[in-house]
Copies of this chain bind each other. A is one copy, B any other.
Amino acid sequence: MTMSENDQKTNKPAIVVFKPSGQVVEAEVGTLLSDAAVEAGVALNLPCGGQGRCGRCRVKVEHGAISHRSGVRLTSAELEEGWALGCQAVVKGDAVVFVPEQEQVEIEFTTQAVGAERIALAAEFAEELDPSVRRAHIVIEPPSLDDQTTDWDRLLRELSLQHGIENVTASLPMLRFLGRDLRDAEWNTTAVLEMGDPVLNPCTPPRLIDLLPGDQTDRCYGVAIDIGTTSNVVYLVDLVQGKVLDRASAYSGQISAGEDVISRIIFSQKRGGLTRLQQMVLKTLNGLLEELASRNQIPQRQISKAVVAGNTTMIQLFLAIDPRTIREMPFVPTIGQPLPITAEEIGLNINPQATVDCLPVVGAYVGADITAGVVASDMYDTDALTLFIDVGTNGEIVLGNRDWLITCACSAGPAFEGSGVRHGMRATAGAIEELWIDHRTFEPTYQTIGQLPARGICGSGMIGLLAEMFVTGILDKAGKIQRDLPTPRIRVGDHGGEYVVVWANQSGIGTDIVINEVDIENLLRTKGAIYAGFSVLVQSVGLELADVEQVFIAGAFGQYINVEKAIQIGLLPDMPWDRFRYLGNTSALGAFYSLVSRPMRRNVLKAAEKMTYLELSADNTFYDQFMSALFLPHTDITAFPSVMRILDQKD
């Protein structure tokens, strides 16, 4: 018997080669091809979380043994050619698989974070600084045969005598080399303490998180983290000055596991999925931390606290708390105010003993990004009736003022983030972000991110496109394309009527960039859900939209919304433009405020407790409102006087 005969009889793993990168992985027979790709470090887009629904993870099997579980999204011609869905293909033996370029997650943009974060943040905190981290310099009498007090009790004695700090505790790793650390520092040391918030909980004991040699009370750092479904942002904060020293952002490493929270939750239910998702977000965050530490020459150990904001699913995945109940009726998160943990417990690369403080969530779909935002925006402390809208992968809405707050979430869907729209894309290089159409020739003029040949259309571009198509009469109120207009740009394609935005010879992808009636339906559902959301909120408290005194728009996507055009398509209510304010990333801002000020942190908790969560799926009026909002701009055009005027002028 030869060696190879023997080998063939055993269950040895299959070798899978991924082209064009050439990455190779050994995979057990029976492994999903998408799992093998993750193992190989090849990032396959799984916008639907690997359910075989979206067809975005298609790969071409060039050689070898791959079987199909489902090919719903593929034509028989494509199956013939060897195309398969990565999430539905099973490794049966050695194989060579080609991963098309456009299906790889655009990792190349993540380090520069083009489009992920473009506005300047209020990088200084104007009120009184009061971080929970405190540094105390102490000089200690060394032990002697006359005073054999233990090192720990000696340290505690001096913290009490010299600084009045009592009842200090520590976790075990702080004690392991306490003896050495004190002696190496020659008993002249700076204790770094997490003081907690005695106002909130009088029982919180101060916790020693580091001992540094000499007097190091002149510096102290923390990080404010915003974990978005799409982008993660980290601010490096000087806790002595109370200002943001630097920021870094990147697309979430979890994108390859799904583009929206539902897909991520589905992914988390796979074997090892929860841990893998946590590792993905940690990898992204640790990369950003390393970037910030190195650029600012601050050792990561010197970062003594992290405050984290993000939606409910992102927070639970960051903590590896199983998110399945977020998706199941009746939509309940595991915990509202996550208990504080140490960086070491989850593997965030700052000081291992630093507290990682996740801001509170209100419900399954109103998360810490919103509670942070309500405080950062000052909405929780204003007399004016305020509408707060965060349009991201989901739409979260808060209505209220200093006295009361009511909130809801509408599953807007990720259409404005590029999913569910054929030529939709995220706001990265080559995306059409602004657009105008000539109402006589129907020819478009557009602007792309980075002034590059157009590769697709991002959210703000889609709002502009819809608005322009509507006011120029290409679209009717129902979102149908008027096929009889005198322009070659309007034609009939696989998905009904379509409008060519960019001809193939001018596009960056070699084909026409179009928008079709199916795309438009998706966009109308998204904008309709948001409009219905705040309409229901306002009605639920017996008010009218006209009573709203100011509208805050938050979130990465919100920054690029053109209010005029958003009103024209009925995404935003029709009111004077000066009532709208773009606040930028209020989630990160709220985390920053909470980091530098315990009173602000308490405000976030108070706001979360004050917010009444309205479950739209249990609300009778939501469906009616939604159906009415599926039109351009709305069934009730009288609610949009400014749009009426424009349409009148055109006639």
Contacts and interface: CB of A to CB of B under 8 A. Distances in A.
A320 B169 contact: no
Contacts of A274: 176
Interface string A136-154: 0000000111101111110
A339 interface: yes
Interface string A327-348: 0011111111011010001100
Contact of A613 (B148, B179, B330): B148
Nearest to A175: B321
Nearest to A142: B330
Contact of A330 (B145, B319, B363): B145
A360 to B, nearest CB: 10
A172 B332 contact: no
A325 interface: yes
B339 A150 contact: no
A463 B635 CA distance: 103
A335 B150 contact: yes
A330 B151 CA distance: 11
A176 B615 contact: no
Contacts of A175: 319, 321, 334-335, 338-339
A169 B332 CA distance: 19
Contacts of A334: 150-152, 175, 178-179
B324 A179 contact: yes
A203 interface: yes
Nearest to A147: B330
A646 to B, nearest CB: 41
B148 A335 contact: no
Interface string A145-182: 11011111100000000000001011110011111100
Contacts of A151: 325, 332-335
A359 to B, nearest CB: 14
A364 interface: yes
A203 B169 CA distance: 13
A201 B145 CA distance: 31
A205 interface: yes
A617 interface: yes
Q: Which of A176, A341, A346 has the most CB of B within 10 A?
A: A176
Interface string A204-221: 010000000000000000
A291 interface: no
A62 interface: no
A322 interface: yes
Given A203-B203, A339-B169, A339-B170, A332 B148 contact: yes
Interface of A: 143-146, 148-153, 167, 169-172, 175-180, 183, 202-203, 205, 274, 319-322, 324-325, 329-336, 338-339, 341, 345-346, 363-364, 613, 615, 617-618
A-B residue pairs, 3 tightest by C-beta:
A203-B203, A152-B335, A145-B618
17 contacts: A143-B330, A145-B331, A145-B615, A148-B364, A150-B333, A150-B336, A151-B325, A151-B333, A152-B336, A171-B341, A172-B341, A175-B319, A175-B335, A176-B274, A178-B335, A179-B321, A179-B332
